C-alpha cells in the first residue's frame, strides 16, 4: 500500500526540521508520497524535492494558505501547485508582508504587557524565514511564560488575549483561485479544528466548492476518529474528494507523527485517486 501524507511543515514556515531533514524523516517512517505544505510559502520545495529524489519518495509541491473568511481564519491547502506560478507567488508574498507587520505588532502588544524582546526572539527562532505565532510561542516557553506552546496560545495569542492581532489574510475565492491557476487542487485543512457550528462549517464548504475547491482534509493529525467520520460525511454530501495529512511540525510534538495516519473512512474518494506518480518531485 502507498502511504500518503499530504500536510506537513518545515523550517521554511513553522516546522523545526529543514526541508531535507523532513523528507529524510518521512522516508524513515515509511511515507511514500509527501506533500510539503508550509504556511504561505513554497520556499522549502526545491530542497525537499532534491532530497526526495535521493530517498526515493514522491514529493508533491504544496502550500497551506492563510484565509480570512467571515471573521475567522481558515487554512486552505494547495496540492501539486506550480511553485513558480506568478499569481500564486505574488499572492503568497502579500501574505508574508502581512505576517511581517503582524509579528512587529504582536511584539509591541506583548511589550506593553511587560514582555520585552518577543519580536526579536520570535524572529531569531524563525531562522530568517517567515514568522508565525508558533515562533512567538517557542520564545515565550523558553522564557518561562508558559509550560508549553499550547498554553502560550491559550494565554497570549488567541482572540481576547494580549498578543492577539486579527488576521488580514487572503479571501477564500482568491486562495482557491491561486491554487487552481497554479495547476493545483485546493483542500480545506483540518476542518474540525475551526470549532464552527455544523451549519457554519457547511456554509464554508459550500462557498469553497463554489469557488472551485475540490477536497476536505478528512484524516488529520489533529482530528479524532469521530471527527474524520463526520468530515467524510460532509465530503460525500458536497461531492468533494478526501485528503489525509499529519500536519507534522517536527519531533517536538511527539503526539503527531508522519506515516501513521488512519485510513480514510469507507466511501471516501481519495484526493490522489487520479494521480499517477513517479518517484521524485511530481
Q: What is the number of other CB atoms lying within 10 angstroms of the CB of residue 232? A: 19
153 binds, among Mn ion, ligand AMP, none (CB under 5 to 8 A by kind): ligand AMP
Q: Contacting Mn ion (CB under 5 A), which of 152, 247, 248, 264?
A: 247
What is the nearest approach in angstroms of ligand AMP to the Cβ of residue 147? 12
Residue closest to ligand AMP (Cβ)? 132
Among the residue ranges 24-32, 129-137, 198-206, 272-280, the one whose residues contact ligand AMP (CB under 6 A): 129-137
Q: In 3-state terms, what secondary structure has residue 241?
A: strand
149 binds, among ligand AMP, Mn ion, none (CB under 5 to 8 A by kind): ligand AMP
What single string gives the DSSP state of each residue in 101-167?
A: HHHHHHHHHHHHTT-TTHHHHHHHHTTTS---HHHHHHHHHHTTS-SSHHHHIIIIISTTSTT----
Pick between residue 159 and residue 260 the one whose CB is nearest to ligand AMP: 159
Q: Is 217 in the site for Mn ion (CB under 5 A)?
A: no
Q: Is 249 in the site for ligand AMP (CB under 6 A)?
A: yes
Q: What is the number of other CB atoms lying within 10 angstroms of the CB of residue 132? A: 22
Q: Is 38 in the site for ligand AMP (CB under 6 A)?
A: no
Strand partners, 243: 217
Q: For residues 75 and 191, what is the distance between their CA atoms, to the nearest angstrom?
A: 9
Show contacts with ligand AMP in window 53-92 (CB under 6 A): 66
Q: Where are the alpha helices (DSSP H) in the chain?
A: 19-28, 45-55, 86-112, 118-125, 133-142, 149-152, 172-181, 198-210, 225-237
Q: Is 234 in the site for Mn ion (CB under 5 A)?
A: no
Residues at the contact surface with ligand AMP, assessed by CB under 6 A: 14, 39, 66, 132-134, 149-150, 153, 249
Residues at the contact surface with Mn ion, assessed by CB under 5 A: 14, 64, 75, 189, 247
Amino acid at each position: 500500500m502507498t502511504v500518503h501524507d499530504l500536510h506537513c511543515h518545515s523550517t521554511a514556515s513553522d516546522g523545526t526540521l529543514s526541508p531535507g531533514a523532513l523528507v529524510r524523516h518521512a522516508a524513515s517512517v515509511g511515507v511514500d508520497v509527501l506533500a510539503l505544505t508550509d504556511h504561505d510559502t513554497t520556499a522549502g520545495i526545491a530542497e525537499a524535492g532534491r532530497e526526495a529524489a535521493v530517498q526515493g519518495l514522491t514529493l508533491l509541491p504544496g502550500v497551506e494558505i492563510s484565509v480570512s473568511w467571515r471573521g475567522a481564519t481558515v487554512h486552505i491547502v494547495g496540492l501539486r501547485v506550480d511553485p513558480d506560478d506568478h499569481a500564486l507567488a505574488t499572492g503568497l508574498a502579500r501574505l508574508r508582508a502581512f505576517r511581517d507587520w503582524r509579528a512587529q505588532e504582536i511584539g509591541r502588544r506583548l511589550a506593553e504587557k511587560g514582555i520585552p524582546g518577543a519580536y526579536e526572539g520570535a524572529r531569531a527562532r524563525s531562522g530568517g524565514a517567515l514568522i508565525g505565532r508558533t515562533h512567538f510561542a517557542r520564545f515565550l516557553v523558553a522564557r518561562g511564560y508558559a509550560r508549553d506552546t499550547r498554553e502560550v496560545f491559550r494565554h497570549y495569542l488567541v482572540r481576547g488575549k494580549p498578543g492577539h492581532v486579527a488576521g488580514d489574510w487572503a479571501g477564500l475565492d482568491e486562495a482557491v483561485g491561486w491554487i487552481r491557476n497554479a495547476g493545483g487542487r485546493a483542500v480545506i485543512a483540518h476542518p474540525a479544528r475551526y470549532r464552527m457550528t455544523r451549519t457554519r462549517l457547511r456554509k464554508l464548504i459550500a462557498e469553497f466548492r463554489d469557488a472551485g475547491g475540490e477536497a476536505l482534509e478528512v484524516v488529520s493529525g489533529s482530528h479524532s476518529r469521530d471527527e474524520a467520520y463526520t468530515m467524510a460525511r460532509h465530503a460525500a454530501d458536497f461531492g468533494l474528494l478526501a485528503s489525509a495529512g499529519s500536519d507534522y511540525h517536527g519531533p517536538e510534538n511527539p503526539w503527531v507523527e508522519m506515516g501513521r495516519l488512519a485510513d480514510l473512512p469507507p466511501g471516501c474518494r481519495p484526493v490522489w485517486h487520479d494521480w499517477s506518480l513517479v518517484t521524485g518531485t511530481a
